[in-house]
Chains A and B, each alone.
Chain A
Amino acid sequence: MIDPPITAMPWFTADDAWMLATAVLASVSCGLVGCWLVLRRLSLLGDAISHAVLPGIAGAFLLTGTRDVLPMLLGATIIGIATAFISSALGRWGRVDRDAAMGVTFTSLFALGVVMMSLAARQVDLDPGCVLHGLLEFVPFDTVALLGVQVPRAAAWLGGALMVDVVLMLAFLKHLRATSFDPAHAASVGLRVSLVHLGLMATVAANTVVAFEAVGSILVVAMLVAPGATARLWTDRLGSMLWLAAGIAAATAIVGTLAAIGFNTSAAGMIATVSMVGYVGSVAAVAAGRTVRRTMPHASTPLTMQQPRSDRP
């Protein structure tokens, strides 16, 4: 692809613009889904699934001999659900606690995936390093025609994933909220708690696959968890948290990608680094705000309403 400069900045090309768009789409879709992992204290399960989908991806390579997204999506989603299922089954019947069950499940699946990948690499033009770390830089070279425009394949898939995520979240907001806050009550009014859980896990797995080409299957964890965890620090409202997480995800993707272009380093690594800086900075800022309010109660507007507890209305 020829990339003439599209702006006054000669270092920012059309390819760079597509990289940026792809990174933002990956970050926002993962960040939104990841909010629910953060809220349900399942961040580690997100990590587990993003590792465990590897055999699903490799299996799809081996079976189809191509790098088509659809078989990978299918393979990885199945493995993603299986991970959630196996780790809860091990936790229940294997007499180990949940963390151990999860650790056993995802490391062994990941190991299986690595072996399968090296087998697949003999047949398909596939770089295992690319699967693990992603290559945002190569995204613009693999395009599909969408409404007459040549769009990077990864961007098209990620755009679709983001739309599906938003639709699912709006449709099942009630279910997600009730089963996260009080699963026992949700079950008592007839909501299918474990189905919601598996659905969320399948969505995480699917998002991981769609995003892995851009950011790799390891750094995708940063995209899943960091925006939600950072947003949660700043707000006590679910709606604000979701909007804020989407904004933070987009901002980290933009800053990270631009920094990577500027410093000529890995975009995925840069995005993950920026999101970490954002999170740590937020922790410090919120803690500092609390200290200021405690020492000077009238000095600032509180971020969250902290009122003395009283039992009388």
Chain B
Amino acid sequence: MTEVALSFHGVSVAYRSELVLEGIDAAIPSSSLCAIVGPNGAGKSTLIKAALGLVPLAAGSVSVLGGTIASRRRDVAYVPQRESVDWEFPIGALEVVLMGAYGRLGIFRGPGRAERLQAMDCLDQVGLASFADRQISQLSGGQQQRVFLARALMQGARLFLMDEPFAGVDAVTEDAIMRVLAALRGRGCTIVAVHHDLATVRDRFDHVLLLNKRLIASGPVSTTFTGPLLQRTYGGRLALIADASSGPAPGQAGG
């Protein structure tokens, strides 16, 4: 039995009357690690925002954990792109993690002692317990990304939507993040991440969604992350792609 965590039904999104996503139909199974792959301007971030209800749909609908996003908000954690964050804002790592609790706190309630303890635990899970008081601007790119992962953990979600969680991250941090994500999947969570590094898709993910304004393909990495489909996704820029799709397991390319 494969349950579906996130599904798009004929989803189109327009910015200023220009379609950036056209008729997306895709289903992402539960307990999977899914990469959204495609060239710049393919609408990858927009697809995630559409799932979260952060951009209006021109057509179609999205089903999140079997319901609407409005009814499932507390079960969904979002890690936005680095650009959406004000890195100069005066805030420490622990305070950022505490923001993961804001959605479930009452309107006038701030985080209390219980939330602080939980936030410390989340920082510990990403290996940053000793950085709780550090200003966010004084952390490295990799540490910042791990703080955001901790904030997502704080939300206690079942579906994680991450926009380039590995941007500006060194290999050590990437491994650390992957370990946390794999543990989450082990607990039945679903992780959907916009991913840029084609060379690591095969190692890190089990499901892939190839996107270029339209859906090119969606399915298990072994059958979907293939040369011909990547060519269709990326158009002409091929040299790099041929490498990536056959990378660690050449036999599977084109399969």
Measuring CB to CB, which residues of chain A are less than 8 angstroms from any residue of chain B?
39-41, 93, 171-174, 177-178, 180-191, 232, 235-238, 241, 304-307, 309-313
Contact = CB atoms under 8 A, between A and B. Distances in A.
Interface in B111-135: 111, 127-131, 134-135
Contacts of A180: 86, 89
Nearest to B172: A311
B66 interface: no
B170 interface: yes
Residue from the set A41, A174, A188, A313 with the largest chain B CB neighbour count within 10 Å: A188
B151 interface: yes
A185 B142 contact: no
B138 A188 contact: no
B99 interface: yes
B73 interface: yes
9 contacts: A177-B95, A180-B89, A181-B96, A182-B85, A182-B86, A185-B80, A185-B99, A311-B143, A313-B129
B91 interface: yes
Contact of A184 (B78, B129, B172, B173): B78
Contacts of A183: 84
Contacts of B142: 311
B103 interface: yes
Contact of A173 (B90, B96, B110, B135): B110
Contact of A309 (B16, B99, B129, B140): B140
Contact of B103 (A40, A171, A173, A189): A189
Contacts of B102: 174, 178, 186, 189, 191
Contacts of A186: 99, 102
A78 to B, nearest CB: 25
B90 A236 contact: yes
A141 B100 CA distance: 52
A40 to B, nearest CB: 8
Residue from the set A178, A184, A189, A241 with the largest chain B CB neighbour count within 10 Å: A189
B interface: dominant SS: mixed
Given A188-B76, A311-B172, A311-B173, A181 B103 contact: no
Nearest to A40: B86
Contacts of A190: 73, 103
Interface residues of B, number: 47
B238 to A, nearest CB: 34
B54 A184 contact: yes
Contacts of A305: 134-135, 138
B105 interface: yes
Nearest to A240: B90
A187 B128 contact: no
B84 A184 contact: yes
A40 B143 CA distance: 24
A235 B89 CA distance: 11
Contacts of A93: 16
Nearest first, the 5 closest Cβ-Cβ pairs linking A and B are A189-B103, A188-B78, A184-B80, A184-B84, A181-B89
B127 A313 contact: yes
A88 to B, nearest CB: 14
B139 interface: yes
Given A174-B110, A309-B138, A188 B54 contact: yes
A237 B135 CA distance: 8
Contact of A238 (B16, B91, B137): B91
Given A178-B102, A186-B102, 18 more contacts: A40-B86, A181-B89, A181-B91, A182-B85, A185-B99, A186-B99, A187-B54, A188-B77, A189-B73, A189-B99, A189-B100, A190-B103, A237-B92, A304-B135, A305-B138, A309-B138, A311-B140, A313-B130
A174 B105 contact: yes
Interface in B5-60: 16, 49, 52, 54
Residue from the set A40, A182, A238 with the largest chain B CB neighbour count within 10 Å: A182
B218 interface: no
B224 interface: no
B190 interface: no
B155 interface: yes
Contact of B52 (A188, A241, A312): A188
B140 A310 contact: yes
Residue from the set A39, A40, A236 with the largest chain B CB neighbour count within 10 Å: A236
A269 to B, nearest CB: 31
Contacts of B96: 181
Nearest to A95: B16
A68 B155 CA distance: 49
A307 B110 contact: no
Given A191-B102, A191-B103, A309-B139, A185 B90 contact: no
